[in-house]
């Protein structure tokens, strides 16, 4: 009984703090962005969107069927898609990705609200270094939009959001790299706003499903490549989102991607020698880096500059008994 | 001594005296001043290219030689060391991996991440179970 009561108090308090934080961050921001933030948890719609990313030299376009009921979202894929049969269901607690061919579900931290809130947080933190402007956008999914353009001090575009001024829905988003090339975008091709969405759509029941978490993957990969099993402490607010090995043809580098209150952090470990000055040279903008060595393995932490960053780096080093 | 007498006798012979008289009788051929002047000019003209040739030989050639030697010395002394591509690529790869993750997460949201697009792409489309409903 007490634990249930405590849980309720914590939940209400966190929601209140979250709301207050949103309000504080949104101060001084364009009205259209405030509208998008305020409606983010209450929109109900079904629609089709195209996600395009230019990753590792290849363009990838994916069609997603979106069903959204406030802070819950379900994503299905067309029958002729390479992802047909897969289902993603996300709520404020977690994101579950069902993979029918593997008969498994991958449980990850939620992602949806992250991008909008991170944009707002970034604008609040780097107010002097960002230019935000609003103008008439194009017609997206049959609806006239307002274009929110986020640029750097010199006016180079960083992100474009096409927002429906009636509903606050972000109907198109585009992100640019340092040389102004679009690295990724999504765009709704159709959208239908609803009064009610069937709650059953957010439940998936399938017997015998194997549950896979990024923690279990990180553990397996660390053992396979004779690296250390480490994690950012959960009480820091950061949650492990994925674990993968990059450059598997050479000396393996294990990359652990975390999302949290100050953005995204990546913890790397490898037996290859690392040069801290080179790492910081490649990092641009607000990216901080830290390297250390422990037990013959080199570690690197990469993420946005913040007090959190230094605290987490110190904690990881201490936990590993680093030099 | 005997040979000397024989030579003197031959020189004083009638034939040799006749030839000597004939040569003495020839007119004295004095070169004209204009010819001398032309000759001088020709000598000067020939001498100039020779001077230029000398300059090339004594200054330019050694300079070229020294330059080549210096270049060779530079190549040997400051031989370019192969860049440590392994080291640099590891660090740049780490930053690129992190930056990609941040950029794509802004776009994909709850949808498929770039890694998932690669890792969970079905080689053949999964049969839609709803299609079986047509049988009933």
Could you say which of B94, B111, B126 has the minimum Cβ distance to residue A300? Answer: B94
* Residue A46: pLDDT over 90: yes
Alpha carbons A33 and A30: distance in angstroms, whole number: 5
HEC letters along chain A: CHHHHHHHHHHHHHHHHHHHHHHHHHCCCCHHHHHHHHHCCCCEEEEEEEEEEEECCEEEEEEEEEEEECCEEEEECCCCCCCCCCEEEECCCCEEEEECCCCEEEEECCCHHHHHHHHHHHHHHCHHHEEEEEEEEEEECCEEEEEEEEEECCCCEEEEEEECCCCCCEEEEEEECCCCCEEEEEEEEEEEECCCCCHHHHCCCCCCCEEECHHHHHHHHHHHCCCCCCCCCHHHCCEEEEEEEECCCCCCEEEEEEEECCEEEEEEEECCCCCHHHHHHHCCCCEEEEEEEECCEEEEEEEECCHHHHHHHHHHHHHHCCC
Min Cα distance B133 → chain A (Å) is 15
Question: What pLDDT sits at residue A231?
Answer: 86
Assign a CATH topology to domain A213-320. Answer: Phosphorylase Kinase; domain 1 (3.30.200)
Which residues in chain A have their CB less than 8 angstroms from residue B132's CB? none
Q: Which position has the higher pLDDT, B110 or A128?
A: B110
* Residue A191: pLDDT over 70: yes
Which residues of chain B are at the A interface, by a Cβ-Cβ cutoff of 8 Å?
Answer: 86-88, 90-117, 120-122, 125-126, 128
Average pLDDT in chain B? 70
Count of residues making up chain A: 323
- Residue B65, exposed/middle/buried by CB under 10 A (0-12, 13-18, 19+)? exposed
Are residues B120 and A273, on separate chains, in Cβ contact within 8 Å?
no
For the segment A43-72, the average pLDDT, to the nearest whole number, is 91
For the segment A47-51, the average pLDDT, to the nearest whole number, is 96
pLDDT class for A3, splitting at 50, 70, 90? very low
- Residue A255, exposed/middle/buried by CB under 10 A (0-12, 13-18, 19+)? buried
Could you say which of A75, A253, A289 has the minimum Cβ distance to residue B111? Answer: A75
Report the DSSP beta bridge partners of residue A95: A90, A108
Alpha carbons B6 and A196: distance in angstroms, whole number: 152
Angle (CA) A133-A135-A140 rounded to 5° is 120
Alpha carbons B74 and B88: distance in angstroms, whole number: 26
Min Cα distance B84 → chain A (Å) is 11
* Residue A122: pLDDT over 80: no
* Residue B40: pLDDT over 60: yes
Question: What pLDDT sits at residue B46?
Answer: 74
Mean pLDDT lowest among A306-310, B40-44, B130-134: B130-134
* Residue B122: pLDDT over 50: yes
Q: Does A81 reach chain B within 8 Å, measured CB to CB?
A: yes
Q: Hey, CA dihedral for B62, B64, B67, B69, is it positive or negative?
A: negative
Are residues B91 and A64, on separate chains, in Cβ contact within 8 Å?
no
Are residues B98 and A302, on separate chains, in Cβ contact within 8 Å?
yes
Question: What pLDDT sits at residue B17?
Answer: 79
pLDDT class for B30, splitting at 50, 70, 90? low
According to CATH, where is 2.50.20.10 located in chain A?
Answer: 25-202
CATH class, domain A25-202, is mainly beta
Which residues in chain A have their CB less than 8 angstroms from residue B133's CB? none
What's phi and psi for A226, nearest 5 deg? Answer: 55, 45
What the block records as the tokens of A323 is 């030099």
Q: Hey, CA dihedral for A30, A32, A35, A36, is it positive or negative?
A: negative
Q: Which position has the higher pLDDT, B84 or A318?
A: A318
Min Cα distance B135 → chain A (Å) is 19
Alpha carbon A227 to chain centroid distance? 26
ipTM: 0.76
Alpha carbons A29 and A14: distance in angstroms, whole number: 23
Q: Report which of A90, A69, A72 is spatially closest to residue A196, judged by C-alpha positions.
A: A69
Are residues B110 and A95, on separate chains, in Cβ contact within 8 Å?
yes
Could you say which of B91, B104, B114 has the minimum Cβ distance to residue A275? Answer: B91
Min Cα distance B110 → chain A (Å) is 5
Q: How many CB atoms lie within 10 A of CB A195?
A: 5
According to CATH, where is 3.30.200 located in chain A?
Answer: 213-320
């Amino acid at each position: 009984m007490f634990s249930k009561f405590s849980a309720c108090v914590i939940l209400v308090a966190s929601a209140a703090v979250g709301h207050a934080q949103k309000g504080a961050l949104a101060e001084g921001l364009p009205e259209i962005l405030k509208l998008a933030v305020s409606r983010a948890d209450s929109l109900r719609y079904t629609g089709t969107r195209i996600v395009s990313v230019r990753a590792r030299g290849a363009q990838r376009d994916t069609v997603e069927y979106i069903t959204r009921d406030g802070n819950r979202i379900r994503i299905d894929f067309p029958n002729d898609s390479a992802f047909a049969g897969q289902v993603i269901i996300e709520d404020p607690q977690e994101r579950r990705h069902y993979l029918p061919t593997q008969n498994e579900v991958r449980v990850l931290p939620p992602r949806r609200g992250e991008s909008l809130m991170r944009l707002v947080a970034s604008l609040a933190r780097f107010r002097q270094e960002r230019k935000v402007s609003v103008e008439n956008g194009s017609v997206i999914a049959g609806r006239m939009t307002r274009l929110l353009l986020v640029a750097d001090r010199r006016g180079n575009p960083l992100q474009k959001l096409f927002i429906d001024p009636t509903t606050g829905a972000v109907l198109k988003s585009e992100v640019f790299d340092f040389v102004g090339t679009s690295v990724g975008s999504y765009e709704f091709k159709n959208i239908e706003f609803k009064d009610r969405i069937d709650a059953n759509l957010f439940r998936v029941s399938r017997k015998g499903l194997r549950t896979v978490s990024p923690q279990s993957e990180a553990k397996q990969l660390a053992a396979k490549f004779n690296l250390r099993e480490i994690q950012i402490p959960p009480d820091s607010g950061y949650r492990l989102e994925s674990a993968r090995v990059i450059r598997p043809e050479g000396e393996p580098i294990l990359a652990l991607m975390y999302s949290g209150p100050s953005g995204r952090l990546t913890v790397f470990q490898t037996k290859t020698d690392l040069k801290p000055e080179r790492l910081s040279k490649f990092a641009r903008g607000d990216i901080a880096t830290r390297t250390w060595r422990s037990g013959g393995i080199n570690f690197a932490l990469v993420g946005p500059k913040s007090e959190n960053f230094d605290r987490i780096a110190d904690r990881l080093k201490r936990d590993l008994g680093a030099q | 001594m005997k040979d000397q007498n024989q030579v003197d006798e031959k020189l004083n012979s009638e034939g040799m005296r006749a030839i000597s008289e004939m040569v003495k009788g020839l007119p004295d051929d004095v070169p004209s001043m204009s010819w001398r002047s032309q000759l001088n000019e020709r000598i000067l003209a020939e001498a100039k290219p020779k001077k230029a040739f000398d300059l090339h030989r004594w200054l330019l050639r050694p300079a070229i030689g020294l330059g080549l030697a210096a270049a060779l010395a530079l190549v040997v002394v400051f031989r370019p060391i192969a860049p440590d591509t392994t080291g640099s690529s590891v660090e740049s790869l780490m930053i690129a991996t992190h930056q990609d993750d941040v950029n794509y997460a802004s776009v994909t949201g709850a949808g498929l991440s770039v890694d998932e697009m690669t890792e969970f792409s079905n080689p053949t489309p999964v049969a839609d179970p709803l299609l079986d409903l047509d049988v009933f």
